[in-house]
Amino acid sequence: MSSIKSITHVPRFKPLLDLPGRSMPFPLGIALAIFLLLATVSSPSQGAIDNDPLQPLNRATHQFNRTLDRFVVKPLATSYKKLTPAIVRTGVRNFFSNLDDVRVTVNDLLQFKFDQAAADFSRFAVNSTFGLGGLVDVAGPVLSLDKNRQDFGKTLAHWGVGAGPYVVLPLLGPSTVRDAFGLGFDSLVDPIQSLDNVESRNSLLAAKMVNFRAGILNFDDWIIGDEYLFIRGIYLQHREYSINGGYMTVAFEEF
């Protein structure tokens, strides 16, 4: 281990670290959660350093994700960012952020944060009507209804459920056992997942993924040392702190 590097402008990493762009069909979420539970129970105890007993499996999954990203997702995201005007990308980002406020509101309610739930639902209602279906963020700058970030993983943490071991999910990236369960639940209240038309649903999910990846292209330039350890460290540190209601300067070591 060598020098410590600090990221002082953490907000640029919020899309990566909170990962609001991730979703999965609910049956897949259940199957994956069961797999993770069984894998955790059967994993050797001597591998539990840094709460990462599944590291061999995680590294293999990480490599799979990176290969898919290199040849498919990143080229699409790069072309999208290069060819699409900034104002259009902003509208697309606002659209998906607005749909995400449904999940946020549900988890506010599950945490008994009723005032925040009212504010987040108001934000969704205002942007869906006066913001052209969410393409324009009217509620933020006009009504000071700022974007909140909630998910079922945070709800479980709110009620005392521990994070469990670190896991890397196929296609979805860094997570924990608790948050993997959360992704399955969140898919139940995802408006996109509720669409009956399979073609429309898959098209929106693909657009959401490309939009998300385009927003974090610059993150690739920050990776140093062991890529797996870098991403694990920054994700777990920031996730733990954001669950407590804030963001921090994330420090990590070069390996």
Predicted local confidence at residue 246, as pLDDT? 57
**Domain of 116?**
24-40+53-217
Which residue positions in the chain have pLDDT lower than 70? 1-50, 245-255
Does any domain span residue 226?
Answer: no
- What DSSP string describes 95-128? HHHHHHHHHHHHHHHHTT-HHHHHHHHHHHHHHH
Predicted local confidence at residue 220, as pLDDT? 87
Does any domain span residue 248?
Answer: no
Does any domain span residue 243?
Answer: no
Predicted local confidence at residue 241, as pLDDT? 83
Does any domain span residue 250?
Answer: no
Does any domain span residue 9?
Answer: no
Does any domain span residue 239?
Answer: no
Q: Which residues does 187 contact at the CB level (< 8 Å), separation at least 6?
A: 23, 24, 25, 26, 29, 193
Phi-psi domain of 71 (left: phi exceeds 0; alpha: psi -120 through 50; beta: other) = alpha
The total number of structural domains that make up the chain: 1
Q: Are 252 and 234 in contact (CB under 8 A)?
A: yes
Predicted local confidence at residue 251, as pLDDT? 41
The model's pTM is 0.79
Task: Compute the distance between CA of residue 181 and CA of residue 37 in angstroms, rounded to an integer.
Answer: 10
pLDDT in tens, 28-71: 444 454 445 544 444 443 333 468 999 999 999 999 999 999 99
Task: Compute the distance between CA of residue 110 and CA of residue 159 in angstroms, rounded to an integer.
Answer: 10
Predicted local confidence at residue 46, as pLDDT? 35
Does any domain span residue 185?
Answer: yes
- Residue in 1, 16, 59 with CA at minimum distance from that of residue 219: 16
Does any domain span residue 77?
Answer: yes
Q: Is 159 helix (H, G, I), strand (E, B) or coil?
A: coil
